[in-house]
Amino acid sequence: MCRACPYVHARIAVNMPQQVSCGIILITINKTTPMERCFIRKRLFVLALLLITGNLLLAQTDQDAIMMSKHNFCTGLMYGHSNWDHYWEGTFKRDNLNLGTVSTNSYAVMGNYGITDHLNFLFGVPYIQTKASAGTLHGQKGIQDLSVWLKWLAAEKTFGKHDLSLYLLGGFSTPLSNYTADFLPMSIGLHSTTFSGRLMLDYQHGGFFATGSATYIYRNDITIDRTAYYTTTQVQSNKVDMPDMAAFSLRTGYRSHPLIAEAVVTNMQTLGGFDIRKNDMPFPSNKMNATTVGINGKYEIAKIDGLSLTGGANYVMAGRNVGQATSYNLGVFYIIAFHPKKEHSNQKPSHDTSK
């Protein structure tokens, strides 16, 4: 029976997830309100489903250029849905009547804590369900991977109304349950412990911004429930060598009070691996590449200080051994200020003309 490769979630972050920082708009910390810093993005879900490597649902600010103020904690829930009925078998795009439409639902808890104004700790934990509309493959469900990030605002420079900021991030993810990785595309993850490093550069002028990032993901080997398998050669082992991954992202948008909006393009590349063979099932160490476009937004609830709603949609434009997925996500987040009098302590006088 042929099975399509899942729209995997890379840990860039679920990733998911994805990919978790509370914030998605890329604005420098000196001109953001606590609510804006809690703008969680879908990335936690898009990349999380985009590369089911286990970093899923880190849709919060591990992807954006916003910092949570010292002793502030942003937390919330996010729901994501993804589905596809066509996929790439290598570079050949096809459908599969034995699968029909493959859908994934994700429910994530995430948060972002300001250790200092320049150092944040982020986390995300997703619960995932998969389902195929045709055939006999049973969907899977369960808690996927814990993803954590440290996010450091390494440098920031202001030139008149222009702001330039450099961020360095380190991430770690590991499975929280004994789910099966070797059951694609119904698996909820790849069950690999990962280590990630990210470099992110953000530019802002007034309310407009642009942010670019590059991420490297090291993936540990995994163990599967069989003692022999075939990749490009026969392997007599239950250990699978997982290729590392790289991801590149460019996002741009505009923010004003109480609305934030952005557009994003993401490219993910597996540094190794092999293609799905003709009419064969996918395998955890397949080469899984994808280029995704999407939009994200956040709206602050004026009557409830600290509460915001987020949403986003994404589409896989091109790929290799992945599903051509359409996905969307919705979230609700709230900021808890442990020291309310200090919640603006990291802000400089703003020259943001968008206010």
Least confident of 121-135, 165-179, 205-219, 245-259: 245-259
Bridge partners for 239 per DSSP = 223
CB burial of residue 227 (10 Å; 0-12, 13-18, 19+): exposed
CB-CB contact of 313 with 328 (8 Å): yes
**Averaged pLDDT for residues 42-66:** 48
Least confident of 18-27, 176-185, 339-348: 18-27
Instruction: Give the three-class secondary structure for 351.
Output: coil
Instruction: Go through the domains of the chain in sequence order and give each one's CATH number.
Output: 29-342 (2.40.160.40)
**Averaged pLDDT for residues 140-150:** 98
**Averaged pLDDT for residues 136-155:** 97
**Averaged pLDDT for residues 106-114:** 96
Binning pLDDT at 50, 70 and 90, where does residue 100 land?
very high
Q: pLDDT for 60-84, tens place per residue? A: 468 888 898 999 999 999 999 999 9
Give the residue with greater pLDDT, 305 vs 15: 305
Tell me the CA distances in angstroms from 61 to 104, 232, 264, 303, 309, one per residue in order. 23, 39, 14, 24, 15
Binning pLDDT at 50, 70 and 90, where does residue 255 land?
confident
Query: Does position 53 have pLDDT exceeding 70, yes or no?
Result: no
* Helical segments of 63-173, H only: none
Q: What is the pLDDT of residue 341?
A: 55
Query: Does position 302 have pLDDT exceeding 80, yes or no?
Result: yes
Q: What is the pLDDT of residue 92?
A: 96
**306-315: b (≥16 Cβ within 10 Å) or e:** bbbebbbebe
Query: Does position 16 have pLDDT exceeding 60, yes or no?
Result: no
Query: Does position 326 have pLDDT exceeding 90, yes or no?
Result: yes
Binning pLDDT at 50, 70 and 90, where does residue 257 land?
confident
H-run or E-run covering 49: helix 43-50
Query: Does position 209 have pLDDT exceeding 90, yes or no?
Result: yes
Q: What is the pLDDT of residue 17?
A: 33
Taking the CA atoms of 13, 15, 19 and 24 in sequence, report the sign of the dihedral they define.
Answer: positive
Binning pLDDT at 50, 70 and 90, where does residue 321 land?
very high
Query: Does position 1 have pLDDT exceeding 90, yes or no?
Result: no
Q: Cα(339)–Cα(214) distance, rounded to whole angstroms? A: 34
Q: What is the pLDDT of residue 277?
A: 93
Give the residue with greater pLDDT, 12 vs 266: 266
Query: Does position 179 have pLDDT exceeding 60, yes or no?
Result: yes
% pLDDT > 90, the chain: 70
Give the residue with greater pLDDT, 183 vs 14: 183
**Averaged pLDDT for residues 236-259:** 94
DSSP string of 232-264? SSEE-SSEE---EEEEEEEEEEEE-SSEEEEEE
Query: Does position 288 have pLDDT exceeding 60, yes or no?
Result: yes
Q: What is the pLDDT of residue 338?
A: 86
User: Across the chain, what does the average pLDDT equal?
Assistant: 83
Binning pLDDT at 50, 70 and 90, where does residue 148 land?
very high
